[in-house]
Chain A
Amino acid sequence: MFSLTLAGARAALRRRDFSARELTAAYLGAIEALNPKLNAFITVTSELALRQADAADTALARGEAENLTGIPLAIKDLFCTEGVRTTAGGRILAPFVPPYESTVTANLLRDGAVFLGKANLDEFAMGSSNMTSAFGPVTNPWTRPGDASPLVPGGSSGGSAAAVAARLALGATATDTGGSIRQPASFCGIAGIKPTYGRCSRWGIVAFASSLDQAGPVARTVEDCAILLGSMAGHDPKDSTSADRPVPDFAAACQRGVKGLRIGVPREYRSDDMPPEIEALWQQGLAWLREAGAETVDVSLPHTKYGLATYYIVAPAEASSNLARYDGVRFGARTEGADLTEMYESTRAAGFGAEVRRRILIGTYVLSAGYYDAYYLRAQKVRALILRDFTEVFARVDALLTPTAPSAAFAQGERMDDPVKMYLNDVFTVPANMSGIPGLSVPAGLDAQGLPLGLQVLGKPFDEETVFAVGAALERAAGFTALPSLRAGG
């Protein structure tokens, strides 16, 4: 049962090879056995999951199968779930039980999905290692052979990625503000897509940086991601930035092939300190696409090197504004003080972890009187140049291929001494957020230590179909079958 992909399990449920209740119960058992080691879930909703599975069995018995009927998923604990605690990985939201359901999770429930629980993440999705969660770090189910030291799953969607890689869920929701879907997917040897900004509604997702945040799925295969995105996406009147356009058949696009496509290779993604294995895997990926009938073309995105610095102005600025709502008055934890100001300051000092506090302070500074033009306005102009780079290149190519991350998973505790060192993880993923374009990470190979590495496919705005076509072709050629040492089902 655990070796089935989401697509495979869906077919088996429809054939009644096993019931939704049996499938969900098996996954709940796997969580019980492995979550104490992985800490991928903050909250497990066993009873709710079994009730949803029973409803799925009733629907299946009537022949009323929706896209995801009976499929057990993990939900990143950034999506508000009605009546189920939603923490965003932070102390300040530890007591928060939303009275409403996010649009993305409501869409998944509409299509019959079963929710196993809420997946761990970096606090307020700020981090690249899942080390900043107030509920403890997540352990990557992969380890280096002969070395038991726990590795990070990446972040911020580390719990989602670890749960899928360890087979504690058939898929998971995730969000990506600077790489938080794609980098953990790469670190955990699974697939994950950040769709175009506006493809999924942000309503009911705890906000980090609203002009960058976008929801997407992580799953074992590219096709599974396509199936999940088909349910998650769609216009929502409650989010004015959600795109009012039809949701294409993403799963069908996986079968298209890449014959005749032009794939751009951005030269600025190459650096002298890139590990040779990653450079070699990138070249291999390009060769696979050529063998499948695509043409590869060298292109230039000259402002790539400024993406991260731009991000670390724009994202903290938006975060400082979004997180102003955590004041101890309307929801979340409160720490008392003698007067209102003291109550605010104590509440926020006790409620936010070190990384969140740093980003709020940076954001407050770059937006403050006298510095706005020098930092924030300048960053917005560089952001326009980053988008212009992509627009010009996409006039000539259909998609781009790059590495997803500059390294494989690293050990817990590494890169914690200097915040900038941690930020460099997102160097290849941030430009897609700055420009709003879709990006997919596909597991493509292992490094010398036996850890997974991903390749990233970037596409034109709202052309996820080509991204899926290229990703699926890479996946077929790579034949990535390696499995992590910690997983359900043996």
Chain B
Amino acid sequence: MSLDPATVRRIAKLARIRVEDSQLPQLQAELNGILGWIEQLNEVDVDGVEPLSGGAQMALKLREDAVTDGGIVEQVLANAPDRAGDFYAVPKVVE
């Protein structure tokens, strides 16, 4: 399966990464190179195989559903590129 420029643009949109028109051809070639190489998995017989999602060969532990910290507004906001009072600030979404 080969990606056309419109598909590359759609993927970039889904990933929220701006791609310039001038970058499209090279990106398309690279992605198609990788996807073409990945196609080799189609030769593996996976009938009846249960998918494996994780590397942990154990049951995940549950912990108490309890508040363990809080009241650290300044620490939470310390790395914010923009803030308004105790909130993150972003470009206006609703007029």
- Residue numbers of A with Cβ under 8 A of B are 95-97, 99-100, 197-198, 211-212, 214, 237, 240-241, 243-244, 303, 305-306, 309-310, 312-313, 320, 324, 327-334, 336-346, 348-349, 352, 357-358, 360-362, 364-365, 368, 374-375, 377-385, 387, 418-420, 433-436, 461
Cβ of B85 within 8 Å of any chain A Cβ, yes or no, is no
Q: Is the CB of B60 within 8 A of A241?
A: yes
Q: Is the CB of B54 within 8 A of A241?
A: yes
Q: Is the CB of B55 within 8 A of A365?
A: no
Cβ of B75 within 8 Å of any chain A Cβ, yes or no, is yes
- Residue numbers of B with Cβ under 8 A of A are 1, 3, 7-8, 11-12, 14-19, 27, 30-31, 33-35, 37-38, 40-42, 44, 46, 49-58, 60-63, 72, 75-76, 78-82, 88, 90-93
* Closest beta carbon of chain A to B42's beta carbon, Å: 8
Q: Is the CB of B58 within 8 A of A329?
A: no
Contact of B90 among A97, A305, A343, A362 (CB under 8 A): A343
Q: Is the CB of B11 within 8 A of A361?
A: yes
Contact of A361 among B8, B63, B90 (CB under 8 A): B8
* Closest beta carbon of chain A to B80's beta carbon, Å: 6
What are 10 A-B residue pairs whose CB atoms fall within 8 Å in the complex? A237-B63, A340-B90, A340-B93, A345-B17, A358-B30, A364-B11, A378-B42, A381-B49, A387-B57, A420-B34
**Also in contact, A382 and B41, with CB within 8 A (given A241-B60, A358-B30):** yes
Query: Given A337-B91, A345-B17, 4 other A-B contacts at CB below 8 A?
Result: A197-B57, A332-B79, A358-B31, A361-B31
Q: Is the CB of B46 within 8 A of A436?
A: no
Q: Is the CB of A333 within 8 A of B93?
A: no
* Closest beta carbon of chain B to A362's beta carbon, Å: 6
Which residues of the other chain, B, contact A344 by a CB distance below 8 angstroms? 16
* Closest beta carbon of chain B to A391's beta carbon, Å: 9
Q: Is the CB of A320 within 8 A of B37?
A: no
**Also in contact, A331 and B80, with CB within 8 A (given A343-B90, A380-B51):** yes
**Also in contact, A306 and B40, with CB within 8 A (given A237-B63, A333-B81, A348-B16):** yes
Interface hub of A95, A320, A365, A375 (most chain B Cβ within 10 A): A365
A97 to B80 CA separation, bound complex (whole angstroms): 11
Q: Is the CB of B34 within 8 A of A362?
A: yes
Which residues of the other chain, B, contact A361 by a CB distance below 8 angstroms? 8, 11-12, 15, 17, 27, 31
A197 to B53 CA separation, bound complex (whole angstroms): 13
Which residues of the other chain, A, contact B46 by a CB distance below 8 angstroms? 378, 381-382, 385
Q: Is the CB of A349 within 8 A of B58?
A: no
A99 to B72 CA separation, bound complex (whole angstroms): 10
Which residues of the other chain, A, contact B55 by a CB distance below 8 angstroms? 197-198, 211-212, 214, 433-436
Write the chain B residue with the least CB distance to A341: B16
**Also in contact, A330 and B79, with CB within 8 A (given A339-B91, A361-B17):** yes
A438 to B49 CA separation, bound complex (whole angstroms): 24
Q: Is the CB of A197 within 8 A of B44?
A: no
Q: Is the CB of B81 within 8 A of A329?
A: yes
Q: Is the CB of B41 within 8 A of A309?
A: yes
Write the chain A residue with the least CB distance to B76: A99
A364 to B44 CA separation, bound complex (whole angstroms): 23
**Also in contact, A360 and B81, with CB within 8 A (given A380-B53, A385-B44, A436-B57):** no
A434 to B41 CA separation, bound complex (whole angstroms): 15
Which residues of the other chain, B, contact A343 by a CB distance below 8 angstroms? 90-91
* Closest beta carbon of chain A to B19's beta carbon, Å: 7
Interface hub of B18, B62, B75 (most chain A Cβ within 10 A): B18
Q: Is the CB of B17 within 8 A of A240?
A: no
* Closest beta carbon of chain A to B41's beta carbon, Å: 5
Contact of A330 among B37, B53, B57, B80 (CB under 8 A): B80
A334 to B80 CA separation, bound complex (whole angstroms): 9
Contact of B41 among A211, A306, A339, A357 (CB under 8 A): A306
Q: Is the CB of B33 within 8 A of A420?
A: yes
Write the chain B residue with the least CB distance to A462: B57
Which residues of the other chain, A, contact B90 by a CB distance below 8 angstroms? 329, 340, 343
**Also in contact, A329 and B80, with CB within 8 A (given A337-B91, A433-B55):** yes
**Also in contact, A328 and B34, with CB within 8 A (given A343-B90, A368-B14, A381-B50):** no
**Also in contact, A358 and B91, with CB within 8 A (given A332-B79, A334-B81, A364-B15):** no
**Also in contact, A310 and B63, with CB within 8 A (given A330-B80, A360-B17, A384-B51):** no
* Closest beta carbon of chain A to B13's beta carbon, Å: 8
Which residues of the other chain, A, contact B44 by a CB distance below 8 angstroms? 303, 306, 378, 381-382, 385
A223 to B18 CA separation, bound complex (whole angstroms): 48
* Closest beta carbon of chain A to B95's beta carbon, Å: 10
A345 to B11 CA separation, bound complex (whole angstroms): 12
Q: Is the CB of A328 within 8 A of B37?
A: no
Q: Is the CB of B79 within 8 A of A365?
A: no
